[in-house]
A and B are shown apart, each in its own frame.
Chain A
Amino acid sequence: AQSVTQPDIHITVSEGASLELRCNYSYGATPYLFWYVQSPGQGLQLLLKYFSGDTLVQGIKGFEAEFKRSQSSFNLRKPSVHWSDAAEYFCAVGPERNDMRFGAGTRLTVKP
């Protein structure tokens, strides 16, 4: 069965600094991979997704992620973090719409 691991529970970065959030997955075939963001009191919003093709995918709000099959990873990056990026970030993997597995999340704090 597929699974997702987000090794970092909490990350703090300074505003303007670069960001990388880690995601490792376990799945036998090529997975469908997603990153969602959840702001306080809000539902999850899709940032980006990978199904196939170019392994570097661009998302909304200036985020990008790179699929690395050899490392079973799908890390999320942003070159310059803004204070409004403070939120909880979830990685998800799924071959099936109703069998998507979400990681436990990484909480991002942005220092002024």
Chain B
Amino acid sequence: GAGVSQSPSNKVTEKGKDVELRCDPISGHTALYWYRQSLGQGLEFLIYFQGNSAPDKSGLPSDRFSAERTGGSVSTLTIQRTQQEDSAVYLCASSPDPSSYEQYFGPGTRLTVT
């Protein structure tokens, strides 16, 4: 079946602009995660959605970052007033149920802020 998809695959934006990154999880997966992968760094947890529960936003680095998940499916990560340090690969992952640790990752969106 279809895996996790993300769009766009690459995004170049000017400093100060807003960007939206999209994630389509695997159908039926209740959990959805956003991570940030900077060059030479591991994955940095950003936000976690589980069903209809309030999302865990504890990993968001600043109030310029926000995310929503509509209808328990598609998620959008929004970065307002982008800064150069926001340049990274943003990865989305989904998981089939609350007890599963197995996360299925999308290919990521490479964001470059110039």
Q: Are A98 and B33 in contact (CB under 8 A)?
A: yes
Q: CA of A95 to CA of B17 in the docked complex: distance in angstroms?
A: 37
User: Chain A interface residue count: which class?
Assistant: 20 to 34
Q: Are B42 and A104 in contact (CB under 8 A)?
A: yes
Chain B residues at the A interface, C-beta cutoff of 8 Å: 3-4, 31, 33, 35, 40-43, 45, 48, 50, 56, 58, 91, 93, 95, 98, 100-108
Closest residue of chain B to A51 (Cβ to Cβ) is B101
Count the A-B residue pairs with Cβ separation under 8 angstroms: how many?
56
Measured between beta carbons, the chain B residues less than 8 angstroms from A94 are 101
Given A32-B101, A97-B101, A41-B42 contact (CB < 8 Å) = no
Given A98-B45, A99-B45, A102-B43, A45-B105 contact (CB < 8 Å) = yes
Q: Are B45 and A43 in contact (CB under 8 A)?
A: no
Measured between beta carbons, the chain A residues less than 8 angstroms from B100 are 97
A56 contacts the other chain (CB 8 A) = no
Q: CA of A9 to CA of B50 in the docked complex: distance in angstroms?
A: 33
Q: CA of A102 to CA of B108 in the docked complex: distance in angstroms?
A: 16
Q: Are A4 and B108 in contact (CB under 8 A)?
A: no
Closest residue of chain B to A38 (Cβ to Cβ) is B105
CB distance from A63 to the nearest CB of B (A): 16
Q: Are B102 and A43 in contact (CB under 8 A)?
A: no
One digit per residue, 1 when the CB lies within 8 angstroms of any chain B CB and 0 when it does not, for chain A 86-111 equals 00001010100111111111000000
Q: CA of A41 to CA of B42 in the docked complex: distance in angstroms?
A: 16
Q: CA of A97 to CA of B56 in the docked complex: distance in angstroms?
A: 11
Q: Which residue, of B3, B48, B103, has the highest number of chain A Cβ atoms within 10 A? A: B103
Q: Are A103 and B42 in contact (CB under 8 A)?
A: yes
Apart from A4-B42, A44-B103, A49-B102, 9 more pairs, CB < 8 Å? A41-B107, A43-B4, A43-B107, A44-B91, A44-B105, A45-B105, A98-B50, A98-B58, A104-B40
A71 contacts the other chain (CB 8 A) = no
Q: Are B105 and A90 in contact (CB under 8 A)?
A: no
A34 contacts the other chain (CB 8 A) = yes
A19 contacts the other chain (CB 8 A) = no
A46 contacts the other chain (CB 8 A) = yes
